[in-house]
Structure 1
Amino acid sequence: MKEITLCDSPWQVKGFWPWVPIKTVSMELGQELLGICEWLPATVPGGVHEDLYRAGLIPHPYKDLNSLQCEWVENRWWMYRTIIKPVNNTGSKVELVFKGLDYEAIVYLDGQRVGEHKGMFTEAVFDVTDRMREEPMELAVLLLHAPDEMGQIGKTSETFTQKSRFNYKWDFSTRLVNIGIWDDVLLRIRQHIKLDDIRIAADVEEADLIEEGRHTGIITVEATIAATIEGAFDSVIISAHCFNPSGQLLYTERLRASCGERVYLEFRVQGAQLWYPNGYGEQPLYSIKLELCSGEGEILEARSFMSGIRKLAFAANDDSPADALPYTIQINNRRIYIRGANLAPLDHLYGTVLDSQYDRMIYMMKRANMNLVRIWGGGLIEKERLYEQCDRQGILVWQEFIQSSSGVDNLPSQKPEFLSLLRESAKAALKSRRNYVSLTVWSGGNELMSAPNKPSTFQDPNLAMLRELTKRHDPQRLCLPTSASGPVQYITEEKGQGHDVHGHWKYLDNPKHYIFYGENDNLFHSEFGVDGVSGVKSLRKFLSEPHLTPVSMKENLVWRHHGEWWDTLERDQRLFGKLEELERFAAASQWVQAEGLRFVLEANRRRKFRNSGSIIWQMSEPWPNVSCTNLLDYYGETKMSYYWTKQAFAPLHVSLDYHSLQVKRGEEVKHGIWLHSHVAGIPLDMNVEVVDARGLVIAVSRYHAVSARDQAVFVGSLTWTAPDEAHELLLVRISYSRDGESVVCYPYFFSAAADEHLYRSSLSLEPPRLDISFIEGWRVTGYEELTELMECRLLVRNLGAVAALHVFAEEATDQYDLDCDELYFTLLPGESRMVAARCARKAAGGLLRQEACETGNQPPQLRIRSFNGHNILAVDRYDH
């Protein structure tokens, strides 16, 4: 088999009123019907919106209210065209393949209709063997207007397409319905016989002997020998070669087969290197090369795959109710505590997403100590690059089929047309994604409910069909009916009802937030979040100058358009008092988001394995929001919650249990200290101190504990009293040393304020005196696909008389994505912290995102500041 990409050819696109490209001439006048625009340069893969913006026919759709002026695009028909150059057809069959047409298309070669296709997630494959010529041919793709599908609010029972629904308006996106060719286009040249329906599966025998290295890894290869043309019934030889992670050939298996036969091959690897999720071990990948040969030895087709070896199982939680599903994932006989994030599509116009953006996103998940990503059912079956990166970085994948709730009703659609499309897209997803070792869970969809707050079950015919398809095509993985999976949809105070739950997505205020989550008994928390405002650096990219002032989304249409559900101004002013400056508002909002999210993560983790994990909503956002529940904003900038999540998810962590942010002077306060680890038997000496914002030490306690593998360890209680002379803002700080490295956890902030404005005093703190010096200047290193990775180390010192709250950095040139070991840390007077910073060239994506990125070849520049401080620009130093 040979594949020739057509994406490198010049493409054009032209818009028409519906049906005009079919009719072409006026019935009354007989004259040509012109398009709504001339032929424009087009990008494939891509989307019409980007091409129109480049041509100046629509405003930048992500800025202010501009997307409202672009909604006409989805209601037109669009014709793409390119020239296919002559190919050397050395095969028996030539197929024209579209991996992603969005959404309904008619395909032409030299003006002759080749066929039609409907659906985003199934390949459109057309036999063009008899149409190929020795001179150039024109390929044209007519995309009909986008179907009028449901957005977030509507009736799930009325859905009728397999089109990504978030495009039609969701709480984190606008209505901007993509239309275009969103994935690769190619010519596939086949011989008369092919390998079909290939399945690579891994398992481990003698798994109880893994620690002794006496286990056996198994890689199973299945494939069907299929004819590509009628009458092909030759006997063939299939060879399978297995290479270890270092590239050395381990085994070769050969067998003879006939057309139509299903073949099975197996490799048994004694003491195999095993694949583990991030934080539990390494991710070695074995290579499998398949060759289909004729009886005379001619290679008819060659395919290559990467596979990790691991044993996958699912178990009930500790103290689990008898009717609960198995929510604990086991890899190689180890229970894996899930530390994950939900992923919506990376861009509203998803055809523009580049491999480098997938690389960056999975890299940032790994850096945040995550081990699972849930690919949400209102979005995409993502491009294969994402799954490849999950295999390499140890990120388990929870993949949902393309269904989601709608609010008015949430019943899975039973429409015959929809079920037919769902069946085909589910089969395509199962067959194409099952060969990735990271894939762990399938789910019927997002928040499907048979009644209010009652998740649908496999009693529903729609979901029963998906379970049967999963059993047939990928029996090794768990299939859940929906997420959440019940017996109630939303997190509840009622004991015994919260199995797999969603919610909440807001900070619940003090003290309710801490009482509610601290006492909850859910088994698995597969979606929840806290909202926070984007950084000012990003806000300036999509908000015009008149809209760069804090305002309620009830009062400003532009802000409402970029995150209506996630208005935090009222919440934040309850805690901080009046917030009139954008920088202060954004910083305060991110503080509350980080605080609220950290508590939920730590409260869940304290119940390990009665609770089997947390999946945050959400990792990123597909379009720029003023405020949202994301950890990374649209432009790739990290919010404060990213770094506090990173520490809460750390393999070794110490947490504080508390039930209110408010303390009364002179009254005793008692907090619990907990030790978390994936590894048993780690002895740890901990230092816990209570200080005020000026560095006054109020209490110091020391603790010793030894970690346990499958449960959190209660270390002891911290008891302290806020004296009258202390500053209103009080910090509890936990630190420990291990292997010569000192770890200072992000502090827990309490307040002795008498009213609800608990953090008001943080706004009146004088600015700290920060001193910044380079220890090592910028130097090029490199990290896998993240090329041009540059690193530096700098020392940040607080020379002032008050704490420097939440010290963070921004990359000032806007040419780089920034990643640090830690940011948003607090320095007391006289303290210093080493910052290790990494910058990679921005994963810009399509033109719409790229426009916001500067061009040039400067070394990175870091702008350092604190919550209560001013900007300080670190002096550049470049070490060659």
Structure 2
Amino acid sequence: MTTTLPTTTGSAARVLVRRELHSGWAVSAVGGPVPADVAGRSFPATVPGSVHTDLLAAGVIDDPYLDDNEALQRWIGLCDWQYQTTFAWSARSDGAADTREDRHELVLDGIDTVATITLNGTEVARTANMHRTYRLDVSALLRDARAGEGDNELVVTFRSPVRYADAQSLALGYRPQVNHHPFNAIRKMACSFGWDWGIDTATSGLWRPVALESWSTARLAAVRPVVTATAPHAGSDGRVGDGHLDVHVDLARASDADLTVTATVSGQGARQGGQVTATVTVAAGETSVVVPLDVPDAALWWPRGHGDQPLYDLRVELTAPQDDAPQPIDSWDARVGFRTVRLDVRPDEDGTSFTFLVNDRPVWVKGANWIPDDAFPHRVTRARYAARIAQAEAANMNLLRVWGGGIYEADDFYDLCDERGILVWQDFALACAAYSEDEPLWSEVEAEARDNVTRIMRHPSLALWNGSNENIWGITVWGFLPRLDGKSWGLGYYQDLLPSVVAELDPTRSYTPSSPWSGELPIDMSRDQNDPAHGSMHSWEMWNREDYLRYRDDVPRFMAEFGWQGPPSWSALTRAIHDDPITPESPGMRVHQKAMSGNDKLTDGLVRHLPLPDDTEDWHWAMQLNQANAVQVAVEHLRSHQPRNMGSVVWQLNDCWPVTSWAAVDGDGHPKPLLYALQHAHADRLLTVQPRTLSSGDRLAVVASNDTGTPWRGDVRVRRVRFDGHVLAETTLSLGAPARGVVTLPVPESVAAVTDAAAEVLVADVVTDVLGTVPAEGSAGGSSAVPRPRAALWFFAEARDAALEAPRLATSVTPVDGEGEAAGVVVDVTVTAENLVRDLTLLVDKVHPDAVADDALVTLLPGETVTFRVSAPAGTVLDAAALVSPRVLRSANDLVVRWAR
């Protein structure tokens, strides 16, 4: 594909032409333990792509995600591979004769990873960094088809990433890390070598676009819009402030001609007919300029749940002299949003805060960690990003943390976060290891940081740059320091190099050196970097060793990582694993459980709450349910301690393949029960029952968390109820929670004092509620309906010890008409309980892999009813009887009745 600006005439100034080089590629193995049926053969290759997916498309290998194909395909990462294509080219598409100032550059947006690049037999570069863009001047090497010189041959030869990493580990000096490969010796996606949730692929390939760009006079080398905004104007309801941009432009030149740079902002609120424009002259020889623009009365961008997400079009145009008038020769287009965002890490009476402020307003973060959505990230399309971000929205999230063992995501990811109001916490690609600060690694880290800060910083969703994941905390708690024997381990990156790059290129963003982090720079290595009183915390004692009820023992200032494992959806599990029989310990299941002693930890975490089934489908449901309950306990506890705690970022939203993991969405894109638990725990208005130590002693309290811009007032009815529905005690409490605040209401002992722990439950629900429809903070005069909060429940006994009976349910399935063809097939499944039923859930993927229910984990008291809406793609047949069958309509009662011992 060739892209140009409008055609110009003459030779003084010519437009930039971009031609993608994505066709005609072939791949072949050129070294290493190549199987006999692969040796000497060439296979069609896709660019962007990877060796594994090319071999899969050619039928040479089976799907790496199935069974134990991972082990059978380890040879791929040990081999050297060569990608080759040819293309025709001529100097000028418009036939002009003067080409003396033309530049022709090979642009490779992503090379994975260690490669030698030749054009027409001449080496033009050697690369060793997956996270960088490479721009190579090939003007002198191109063959001109018009001159009869023939086609151009482009060859990229990849060295085995496994063998290169091993060699570099020796060349740089051993540095400890947490994997079976020295991923810290190569600038490649760390989890490409496997993780405690990830498959070991160690692939190679041209994973992002390849193009030839031709230009003369000058081009835009980099554009960095530094965006600021004032606080909302008085009386604007958070909607309007004054915006300002300093558009930093770097130029590459082929001549010393005078140039002009024009920046134009268009969008709602901008004056001068919806546009603001500024032009700056770039004198001969100068290569950088700043174009300032004021945007009065700019509509402010807010994270979801706090207001709207207005985006403005920014166009930067480079022009050069052409006859009597300047002519455009290059342009750059993007969208920006006006807001301020900063991280408050000031000391206070409780320690050191960790609070995100947007437009100077604190935001309680409802987040999740994000990993690459595919082990082969070139397969992640805009539609797939959109689906995951929609699932984060469905779980009422407002932040995604891009984890440092993955990649700097594609522009589509950040664009969609801008549109949907999802804040982005971006790690630099350094995780769970000690890293050499020697060359060539230091220069590679700096180059990738400059590339990616420049690319990503324009996005209003970007809230934080973080230097590393666990690399400062882990250096001490994992025993790395003695093993280093005095060698560098990365501290220079985290407190010198990376903050200086951020300060230079993205001066309005906050920076943290690592996560967890105790809140100070420079780093004091004698301090506990995971102290709950200071900064951010990771909580892994729960899951690894302790029961999930212990989450309530700590009130961290900010919880940046925590989580609980559960298996993927049943349809994903049985698609990927073909053991006969399939059991929790069968061979394929063990391959798809990457955590150390993972199944033992699943069992240890389950049996305190639910009995351990001896049936695989029941085991699957029990582990999914326990995962959801564990994380919901943690999030509700953290929310109840606002503002001491100002957020949670659960590990993790997504998976990169079908695996037992901490994810809320499995590798096939199916929501696990955990996603619904997060939806409930992140509700704008939330009632929970929490244990509290008060002046009168240990008590139960109803905690109302109000994450809306208006106060929440009403009456809360608190009842102690027998499982048969009989009310034993009751009271009414007056509720008055401030906007974006929390109120704690102690439950009278007369109501909370249990008489039969196994057969009683405390129920708190709103009976009179001043909420209804409230203004959406920051909206353009609109409003949003705030749903009535779900009842809060407190069971006095664990499910396994409770007097739960087999569920007695009346069900009906009703087709829903009028939803439109795009909605596909939609049915309502209505369930009425005759007895108390805990955590009622429809595992609808067992009926059809693409079916989705709108809710899960619903507890019904006797006589209560719930309706689940189930949707599936157009043309799907949803069997009504299957939807309400015992293997699909599940509850905790099933497990207790069948497996209690």
TM-score (norm 1): 0.84
Cα-Cα RMSD: 3.7
Q: Which amino acid aligns with 1:308?
A: G
Alignment pair present for 1:145 and 2:160: yes
Alpha-carbon shift at residue 715 of structure 1 (Å): 3.0
Partner of 1:415: 438
Distance 2:820 2:315 in 1: 35
Alignment pair present for 1:611 and 2:645: yes
Aligned partner (choices 459, 468, 474) of residue 506 of structure 2? 474
Local SS of the residue matching 2:675: helix
Q: Deviations over 1:552-588 (max 9, x none)?
A: 99x9744545875354124323432240122222222
Alignment pair present for 1:759 and 2:759: no
Distance 1:494 1:109 in 2: 51
Partner of 1:636: 669
Partner of 1:686: 716
Q: Contact 1:809–1:863 at 8 Å: present in 2 too?
A: no
Aligned pairs for 1:471-510 (under 5 A) are 471-486=503-518, 497-504=533-540, 506-507=542-543
Distance 1:19 1:615 in 2: 42
Local SS of the residue matching 2:816: strand
Q: Which amino acid aligns with 2:493?
A: N
Aligned pairs for 1:735-774 (under 5 A) are 735=766, 738-739=771-772, 743=788, 745=790, 748=793, 750-752=795-797, 758-760=798-800, 765-774=805-814
Distance 2:268 2:233 in 1: 23
Partner of 2:196: 171
Local SS of the residue matching 1:169: coil
Q: Contact 1:746–1:826 at 8 Å: present in 2 too?
A: no
Local SS of the residue matching 2:261: strand
Q: Which amino acid aligns with 1:13?
A: V
Distance 2:256 2:724 in 1: 84
Distance 1:604 1:619 in 2: 18
Local SS of the residue matching 2:741: coil
- CA 1:129–1:601 in 2, change beyond 3 Å: closer, same or farther? same
Alignment pair present for 1:250 and 2:287: no
Local SS of the residue matching 2:189: coil
Mean Cα displacement is larger for which, 468-477 or 290-299? 290-299
Distance 1:495 1:165 in 2: 27
Aligned partner (choices 429, 432, 450) of residue 455 of structure 2? 432
Distance 1:19 1:508 in 2: 38
Partner of 1:106: 116
Aligned partner (choices 126, 145, 148) of residue 116 of structure 1? 126
Q: Which amino acid aligns with 1:500?
A: S
Local SS of the residue matching 1:279: coil
Distance 1:564 1:270 in 2: 58
Distance 2:387 2:556 in 1: 32
Partner of 1:784: none
Alpha-carbon shift at residue 705 of structure 1 (Å): 1.6
Mean Cα displacement is larger for which, 856-865 or 457-466? 856-865
Q: Which runs of 5+ in 2 are unaligned?
A: 1-15, 170-175, 482-487, 774-785, 891-901
Aligned pairs for 1:353-432 (under 5 A) are 353-406=380-433, 411-432=434-455
Aligned pairs for 1:649-798 (under 5 A) are 649-658=682-691, 670-717=700-747, 719=749, 720=751, 728=759, 730=761, 732=763, 734-735=765-766, 738-739=771-772, 743=788, 745=790, 748=793, 750-752=795-797, 758-760=798-800, 765-774=805-814, 776-777=816-817, 779-780=819-820, 788-790=822-824, 792=826, 794-798=828-832
Partner of 2:336: 307
Distance 2:882 2:738 in 1: 38
Alpha-carbon shift at residue 413 of structure 1 (Å): 2.5
Q: Contact 1:680–1:707 at 8 Å: present in 2 too?
A: no
Partner of 1:571: 605
Partner of 1:648: 681
Q: Contact 1:173–1:563 at 8 Å: present in 2 too?
A: no
Distance 2:289 2:635 in 1: 46
Aligned partner (choices 55, 59, 65) of residue 58 of structure 2? 55
Q: Contact 1:315–1:328 at 8 Å: present in 2 too?
A: yes
**Identity within the alignment, %:** 22
Alpha-carbon shift at residue 635 of structure 1 (Å): 0.9
Alignment pair present for 1:260 and 2:278: no
Partner of 2:12: none
Alpha-carbon shift at residue 69 of structure 1 (Å): 1.0
Q: How many residues align?
A: 813
Alignment pair present for 1:523 and 2:557: yes
Q: Deviations over 1:674-720 (max 9, x none)?
A: 33323242323333444454444444443332222343111332643
Q: Contact 1:344–1:618 at 8 Å: present in 2 too?
A: yes
Local SS of the residue matching 1:709: coil
Alpha-carbon shift at residue 774 of structure 1 (Å): 2.7
Q: Deviations over 1:254-306 (max 9, x none)?
A: 23222424322233222211000111111110001111111232110111110
- CA 1:584–1:690 in 2, change beyond 3 Å: closer, same or farther? farther
Distance 2:33 2:841 in 1: 58
Q: Which amino acid aligns with 1:779?
A: E
- CA 1:136–1:505 in 2, change beyond 3 Å: closer, same or farther? farther
Partner of 1:462: 493
Distance 2:267 2:329 in 1: 25
Partner of 2:209: 184
Aligned partner (choices 299, 303, 320) of residue 294 of structure 1? 320
Partner of 1:17: 31
Q: Contact 2:583–2:589 at 8 Å: present in 1 too?
A: no
Local SS of the residue matching 1:391: helix
Distance 2:680 2:200 in 1: 35
Local SS of the residue matching 2:817: strand
Q: Which amino acid aligns with 1:591?
A: L
Partner of 2:72: 69
Q: Which amino acid aligns with 1:432?
A: R
Partner of 2:302: 276
Distance 2:881 2:389 in 1: 25
Partner of 1:444: 467
Q: Which amino acid aligns with 1:118?
A: A
Q: Deviations over 1:68-120 (max 9, x none)?
A: 11111011111112332446546822222111110011223344433322211
Q: Which amino acid aligns with 1:648?
A: A
Alignment pair present for 1:826 and 2:884: no
Q: Contact 1:729–1:761 at 8 Å: present in 2 too?
A: no
Distance 1:493 1:14 in 2: 48
Mean Cα displacement is larger for which, 556-565 or 138-147? 556-565
Distance 1:460 1:490 in 2: 14
Q: Which amino acid aligns with 1:816?
A: D
Q: Which amino acid aligns with 2:676?
A: Y
Distance 2:184 2:531 in 1: 35
Q: Deviations over 1:285-337 (max 9, x none)?
A: 00011111112321101111100000223324683567x4x621111121111
Q: Which runs of 5+ in 1 are unaligned?
A: 21-32, 661-667, 753-757, 782-787, 842-855, 874-880
Q: Contact 2:579–2:586 at 8 Å: present in 1 too?
A: no
Q: Contact 1:684–1:705 at 8 Å: present in 2 too?
A: yes
Local SS of the residue matching 1:44: coil
Alignment pair present for 1:858 and 2:876: yes
Local SS of the residue matching 1:170: coil
Distance 2:552 2:710 in 1: 25
Distance 2:817 2:378 in 1: 38
- CA 1:581–1:698 in 2, change beyond 3 Å: closer, same or farther? farther
Q: Contact 1:551–1:569 at 8 Å: present in 2 too?
A: no
Alpha-carbon shift at residue 506 of structure 1 (Å): 3.5
Alpha-carbon shift at residue 724 of structure 1 (Å): 6.5
Alpha-carbon shift at residue 380 of structure 1 (Å): 0.7
